[in-house]
Amino acid sequence: MTVTMPPTPGAYLDHAATTPMSAPALAAFVAEAGRTGNASSLHSAGRAARRTVEESRESVAAALGARPSEVIFTAGGTEADNLAIKGIFWGRRTQDPRRIRVLVSAVEHHAVLDPAFWLAGHAGAEITLLPVDGEGRVDLDALRAELAEHADEVALVSVMWANNEVGTVQPVREVARIAHQHGVPVHTDAVQAVGQVEVDFAASGVDALTVSGHKVGGPVGVGALLARRDLPLEAVSHGGGQERGVRSGTLDVAAIRALAVAVTDAVSRRAERAASFAALRDELVAGVRRVAPDAVLRGPDPTGGTADAPWRLPANAHFTFPGAEGDSLLYLLDSAGVQASTGSACQAGVPQPSHVLLAMGVDEVAARGALRFSLGDTSTRADVDALLAALPQVVQRAQAAGLVSARQGGAA
């Protein structure tokens, strides 16, 4: 079956929020959606659906360096993060009631932070936010100190593989090594990393890893948690006992198939994609600095690290614009046909500075003027050119609006 991809409207520079479905993933989704069969049913249609699910599980595992039995399908990255944080906490606390501490980096996505703090409010957890440096990289000495002092009380550590806002790639293997010296399991949210940097579950040493379909060219509403078989993991949802008994619910066979195709495709082309993204990102960064000299690049130097171990995601560029509000910049750019983001799409519409930038030491006023530009398979030089053509006037207008707002606030 041939499926034609519709064009992405305007200059779309928000692939970190969601990506267009890739042609092979969309074709797989459409083909599978036309079939009937519950993967838990025992008749022939059910067995055919189950075969598709298990083949998809094998594909995801092979692409991400895991065993098929370690792949648990979910309805997306948020559910996978919740299952990891709550499930590991409850699993470890059941084994040892002293395990009440959860260590998470201060720059985690809210899909990790919010369930952690929910546990603090409802299940007696004690949360420690691990500090980061000015580039958003987790402080390993702080992790060592927390584990040295409270090792017997720590249930788990969660540090994302790569930050969704400023693109910082974290030292996940070192985090896992340090935590395992104290017998503490590690979860990582790798939603942004898959397909951009090398992600190998087994080699990383982590105990649980989150992936999401719509960040890698798959559909919205499907993801997976990779979890070691011996990891204490309690169910968050209950019902039919699917997915090792920790994630009940009828499996979305079409979405799972499309997820497997998208992950396999993105990972197989990772080196080529990363090089293309990085080259276009570097043009974008240089161009923004040229047309908006006051803009401040946040996160690691794009040229830092190596091709195999970059410090920053190759598709990410993040700036703050002094004197301008991020929301004003976003809407003005959108009016000019350029689509970007002020940060995490999950927090869109909430008028507050990014917790990621604040954790990096950026002051609240500067943090309000943030814009994230993120690239994907459909990104072109024309998209970057459109941004650079619109940006000078957009920044000027946003700064003027900010000046007026500041004067009115002072007058009040």
Ordered DSSP codes for 146-181: HHHHHGGGEEEEE--SB-TTT-BBP-HHHHHHHHHT
Mean pLDDT for the stretch of residues 397-412? 68
In order of their start, the domains of the chain are: 23-267 (3.40.640.10), 270-411 (3.90.1150.10)
Catalytic residue from among 27, 220, 291, 346? 346
Are 67 and 226 a contacting pair, CB within 8 Å? Answer: no
Q: What pLDDT is stored for residue 245 in this prediction?
A: 87
- Helices 77-95 and 110-122, axial angle in degrees (round to 10): 40
Q: Is the pLDDT score of 411 beyond 50?
A: no
Q: Could you report the per-residue pLDDT of 300-352, keeping only the tens digit for each?
A: 988 776 766 689 999 999 999 999 999 999 999 999 999 999 975 455 555 68
Amino acid residing at 247: R
Cα angle vertex 123, ends 206, 74, to 5°? 45
Instruction: Decide: residue 153, CB within 10 A, 0-12 exposed, 13-18 middle, 19+ buried.
Output: middle
Give the whole-angstrom CA distance, residue 275 versus residue 265.
16
Q: What does the radius of gyration of the chain's CA atoms come to, in whole angstroms? A: 22
Amino acid residing at 265: D
Are 152 and 98 a contacting pair, CB within 8 Å? Answer: yes
Are 289 and 365 a contacting pair, CB within 8 Å? Answer: no
Q: Compute the CA torsion angle 173, 174, 179, 184 (nearest 10 deg).
A: 0
Q: How confident is the model at residue 412 (pLDDT cuts 50, 70, 90)?
A: very low
Give the whole-angstrom CA distance, residue 213 versus residue 222.
6
Q: What pLDDT is stored for residue 406 in this prediction?
A: 54
Residues in CB range of 225: below 8 A, 6 or more apart: 72, 74, 80, 83, 84, 208, 209, 210, 247
Give the whole-angstrom CA distance, residue 341 versus residue 16.
9
Q: What pLDDT is stored for residue 343 in this prediction?
A: 73
Q: Could you report the per-residue pLDDT of 52-63, keeping only the tens digit for each?
A: 999 999 999 999
Q: What pLDDT is stored for residue 8 in this prediction?
A: 56
Q: Is the pLDDT score of 403 beyond 70?
A: no
Mean pLDDT for the stretch of residues 213-225? 97
Task: Please confirm, yes or no, whether 346 is among the known catalytic residues.
Answer: yes
Q: What pLDDT is stored for residue 382 in this prediction?
A: 98
Q: What pLDDT is stored for residue 302 in this prediction?
A: 83
**Burial call 292-317: b when 16+ CB within 10 Å, e when fewer:** beebebbbbebeeeeeeebbbbbbbb
Residue in the block written with tokens 């693109």:
167
Q: Is the pLDDT score of 241 beyond 70?
A: yes
Secondary structure class of 378 (helix, strand, coil): coil
Mean pLDDT for the stretch of residues 141-169? 97
Secondary structure class of 283 (helix, strand, coil): helix
Q: Is the pLDDT score of 383 beyond 70?
A: yes
Q: What pLDDT is stored for residue 408 in this prediction?
A: 56
Q: Compute the CA torsion angle 213, 259, 85, 116 (nearest 10 deg).
A: 10
Q: Could you report the per-residue pLDDT of 266-310, keeping only the tens digit for each?
A: 999 999 999 999 999 999 999 999 999 999 999 998 877 676 668
DSSP string, 191-238: TTTBTTB---HHHH--SEEEEEGGGTTS-TT-EEEEE-TTS----SB-
Mean pLDDT score across all residues of the chain: 93
Q: Could you report the per-residue pLDDT of 90-120, keeping only the tens digit for each?
A: 999 999 999 999 999 999 999 999 999 999 9
Are 89 and 125 a contacting pair, CB within 8 Å? Answer: yes
Give the whole-angstrom CA distance, residue 363 versus residue 359.
9
- pTM tops 0.75, yes or no: yes
Are 13 and 373 a contacting pair, CB within 8 Å? Answer: yes
Residues in CB range of 175: below 8 A, 6 or more apart: 138, 140, 143, 157, 159, 186, 188, 206
Q: What pLDDT is stored for residue 409 in this prediction?
A: 57
Mean pLDDT for the stretch of residues 136-155? 97
